[in-house]
Structure 1
Amino acid sequence: DNRTRSNGAKELFYLKHIYANQRVLYVVRSFNLLQYFPKEKWITKKMINNSELIIGVSKAISEKINAEYKTNKTKTIYNPVEPLSETENKNPPNEKYILYLGRIEEKVKNFTLLLNAYKNSKLSEASIHLKIVGDGPDVDWLKQKIETMSLSETVSVNSFTPIVFQYLKNALYLTLTSYYEGFPRVLIEALSVGTPVLSVHCKSGPDEIIINKKNGLLIENHSVEALAEAMNRLAFDTELYKTCKTNAQDSISHLKMDAIGEQWANLLNNKQTRS
């Protein structure tokens, strides 16, 4: 069950009428557990008790479920890296750029931190742009904020496009500044095409993907100064950048589709225990 499951009454209905006498595996894809369990703990505990297993897509999620709901019925299976469509871009960007790719929603993604750090970095002076690619409820707000901060010459907002492979492949590196995540697929997508990543240490996922100074940089969250410094370092420290780019693809070899698929197959065939 991959659904978000915040409606307690709906989940009680599912337990009684749909999942009765069924083998149930709940999947949790966010560190914000209230997206996947009702706020009524007694309902959540009933769901857990009636399930075979709870699958967290990061170790931190599994550990939080165990602690929050006093259970040990969890197992971690990471999101796989899926091959990206190598759609050709007939007009690739000429400028150097760093990239944000994903949903445009301030309360989750913290664009305020991203823009403030970029403005305080040396990237714009070096003509290294920031490209933001995605859609969401805060597109207009974000465009206005960029204009208000006088960043329009080097920061752009672009709608999501099928040529996402080219955006990732041509980027200097990818950035992530979220308040919280689950196991951010965009990080492994970037690494899969050889692009280093720079992320804040949010819960959860980045610290289970990024090997600091090996395939990217992992820094403290909510610090404009730390993020600006990391932006500069990954852009201008040639040896560090070369190391991260060289290691990018191999660093996520354990997340290939066949490896993750085998874990799911073993689980469904009752061959694998919790871990």
Structure 2
Amino acid sequence: MVSSLGVGGAERSSAILSKMLVDSGYDVTIISILNDIVYDYKGELVNLELLTSTYKGLYKRWRKFIISRNILSNNKFDYVIDTASRPGWFKQWFINTFVYQKTSTVFVVHSYNLDSYFPNHTILGKYLYQNSHELVGVSKDSVTHFKEKYGLQKGRCIYNAFDEAHWDMLSKVKIDISEEPFILSYGRIFDEIKNYSFLIKTYSQSQLPKRGIKLFIIGDGPDKIKIQNLVQFYGIQEYVIFKEFLENPFPYIKQALFTTLTSNYEGFPMVLLESLAIGTPVVSVDCKSGPSEVIVTGKNGILVPFKDEQAYTEALNKMIEDQDFHKRCKEGTIISVSKFKIENIIPQWQAILPRKR
């Protein structure tokens, strides 16, 4: 069960999970709530939005419930893996009770910010998930966070995996790009989460614009105009290049000097995994959660104290001024994420999804 298979790290990781499971011999059906299918997947796809396109409002939601329940009831699945956001406790209680019913259910938590997955009331949160087959968090910090907050016994970390061969192929696609050096930021432009304001301010204070090193920002979102206005405010519009969301950002990742991440919170950011897997170092703030579990300063990039503008500006400068340091970080990228390869992650899923037949 997914919100969608498009435009986001959680969605990309869900698509990769479907491929891992199918390749490991599982029969997989993906039920997508929204009609946003971008990433490659494997298995049978049920697009609830398309199936209910003639309905509106509450009846549309009701039809999605009915279709989902009938699919689960008729197919008698061994497991449900729910990777969708779950902000409403009553809606989730209804789904657990009348859609998933007694099917063994694995709930995945993709963010350290629990508002999208748990109710604020700790007793309700514990009630909703204490009987789940398993609770999976995509970072160690996020698992510790929800277990402690809701007093849950269940909970384990299974990191997002990366599709090495597929991403390498995508990174070799030819693109029309100038020879000028650039750094990269990509993802949904939602400032409350991704904190692009922090990135623009620190980039403007760094030596990068003065040296002609541009900042490419790939993505769309509700705060894109706000960030474009901020670029104008700092007078760096000549150096900040905005591009719309790309299904395949990997050629840009491969050619970037390094990738940036300035989020207020994450789960386990796919941006870092994608960049390092392609061989591009990263400069990231130490937000909760994920960056500290993959980035080692001087080995594959720089991990900067959370919201420390001066330290982040200095990190941007160091990556372009200290060529030996940059080279050392670049050489350490791919090996630093070897534990996240599919062949190392799938056994962890197999351990919680034993064959029942």
1:13 aligned residue (71, 94, 98): 94
> What one-letter code is carried by the residue in structure 2 that aligns with 1:56?
G
Contact persistence 1:113–1:223 (CA under 8 A): no
**Can you list the C-alpha shifts for 1:141-162, whole angstroms capped at 9, x where unaligned?**
1111111210101111111224
Q: Alpha carbons of 1:195 and 1:50: their partners in 2 closer, same or farther (altered >3 Å)?
A: same
Deviation for aligned residue 1:71: 1.9
1:124 aligned residue (194, 209, 220): 209
Deviation for aligned residue 1:87: 5.4
Contact persistence 1:6–1:39 (CA under 8 A): no
Contact persistence 2:171–2:253 (CA under 8 A): no
Q: Alpha carbons of 1:87 and 1:245: their partners in 2 closer, same or farther (altered >3 Å)?
A: closer
Deviation for aligned residue 1:163: 4.2
Question: What's 1:210 paired with?
Answer: 295
Question: What's 1:222 paired with?
Answer: 307
Question: What's 2:261 paired with?
Answer: 176
SS of the aligned residue for 1:24 comes to: strand
Question: What's 2:192 paired with?
Answer: 107
Distance 1:218 1:87 in 2: 28
Question: What's 2:332 paired with?
Answer: 247
Distance 1:49 1:20 in 2: 14
SS of the aligned residue for 2:185 comes to: strand
Task: Identify which range, 224-233 or 47-56, moves more after superposition.
Answer: 47-56
Aligned identity (percent) is: 36
Deviation for aligned residue 1:18: 2.1
Question: What's 2:17 paired with?
Answer: none
Deviation for aligned residue 1:81: 1.4
SS of the aligned residue for 1:269 comes to: coil
Distance 1:121 1:52 in 2: 49
State the superposition RMSD in angstroms: 1.4
SS of the aligned residue for 2:337 comes to: helix
Which runs of 5 or more residues in structure 2 are unaligned? 1-81
Contact persistence 1:196–1:248 (CA under 8 A): yes
Task: Identify which range, 89-98 or 62-71, moves more after superposition.
Answer: 89-98
**Can you list the C-alpha shifts for 1:67-107, whole angstroms capped at 9, x where unaligned?**
10112211000001133223523422221011101111111
Is 1:73 equivalent to 2:171 in the alignment? no
Question: What's 1:273 paired with?
Answer: none
Distance 1:55 1:234 in 2: 35
Distance 1:203 1:77 in 2: 16
Deviation for aligned residue 1:185: 0.3
Distance 1:163 1:10 in 2: 34
Question: What's 1:56 paired with?
Answer: 137
Contact persistence 1:4–1:37 (CA under 8 A): no
Question: What's 1:45 paired with?
Answer: 126
Distance 1:218 1:240 in 2: 14
Contact persistence 1:169–1:193 (CA under 8 A): yes
SS of the aligned residue for 1:73 comes to: coil
In the TM superposition, what are the counterparts of 1:191-210 in structure 2 within 5 Å?
Answer: 191-210=276-295
Deviation for aligned residue 1:238: 1.3
Which has the higher relative contact order, 1 or 2, with Cα contacts under 8 A spaced 6 or more apart? 1
Contact persistence 1:8–1:40 (CA under 8 A): no
2:234 aligned residue (138, 143, 149): 149
Is 1:31 equivalent to 2:109 in the alignment? no
Is 1:135 equivalent to 2:135 in the alignment? no
SS of the aligned residue for 1:249 comes to: helix
Deviation for aligned residue 1:258: 2.1
Question: What's 1:188 paired with?
Answer: 273
SS of the aligned residue for 1:122 comes to: coil
What TM-score comes out, normalization by structure 2 length?
0.73
SS of the aligned residue for 2:347 comes to: helix
Contact persistence 1:8–1:39 (CA under 8 A): no
